[in-house]
Structure 1
């Protein structure tokens, strides 16, 4: 007997019911899901500027903060280099400048090293990745204030973070 026009098919001698529809078949196909996470590193200054202030002959000091974030399991190093050979006065009439080597930054060895516009100074290093939100790195500076015209002297510094 054959029922026509429906989705149910019954045949004589078949002891069961066959339903037409999609079928599923599962087998291990050997496909592997991979997630490749690339190494990344970033650095950001917490402040745009810092100031050392005192009278000539005295040593002024200050700090500036940086945030470094990396997922590199070998850690990272932070170095700083001056962009200019001298700090220049803001006043147009001021012809004095302060050689950049007068500004000193504390290196990773806890001693102070003269800044340079040709060579960087490492200020921090570690052999493990940063915290997920980044690590705070503090750079400490000092300068024996030179005998120059009273003014604000400025020059840019570039910090670089490199993964180990």
Structure 2
């Protein structure tokens, strides 16, 4: 008997969206990963932010950017962008069958409209999960 397996590898460790307040910034191909499974029923990949806000790196800066302003577009969204929210995973990719022998490469685009916040580098964590069906 062969057990079902799934791996998510090569996930982009970080990306940057850079702009000025009021500007909408898009990064095509900001995140990529490889999903490999032998599951005949396929897989789903989801993403969710770990917290409600992106926080600044400069000491004393208490400005935050709500993660709900961060939007994602992947194979699961077609041509549109979907807002992210903690506790609400967004499906970004799926397959109705096994991956290619070397795995399926999945890419995600990100977009944000920069709010009126202090000049800083704001960061947060996104949690990607691959699950067999």
Gaps of 5+ in 2: none
Q: Report the CA distance shift for 1:46/1:160 in structure 2 as closer, same or farther (over 3 A).
A: closer
In the comparison of the two structures, how many residue pairs are matched? Answer: 129
1:147, distance to aligned residue in structure 2 (A): 1.0
- Aligned to 1:123, the other structure's residue is in SS state strand
Q: Quick one: distance in 2 between partners of 1:89 and 1:53?
A: 13
1:45, distance to aligned residue in structure 2 (A): 4.0
Alpha-carbon deviations, 1:38-86, whole Å to 9, x = none? 0000112432101111111111112210111100111111100111110
Larger mean CA deviation between 120-129 and 107-116 belongs to: 107-116
- Under a length normalisation based on structure 1, what TM-score does the superposition of the two structures give? 0.75
For CA contacts below 8 A with separation 6 or more, give which structure has more relative contact order.
Answer: 2
- Under a length normalisation based on structure 2, what TM-score does the superposition of the two structures give? 0.92
Give 1 or 2 for the bigger CA radius of gyration. 1
Gaps of 5+ in 1: 1-35
Question: When you count strand as a share of all residues, which structure comes out higher?
Answer: 2
Q: What is the RMSD of the two structures over their aligned residues, measured on CA atoms?
A: 1.1
Alignment match of 1:135 (pick from 104, 122, 127): 104
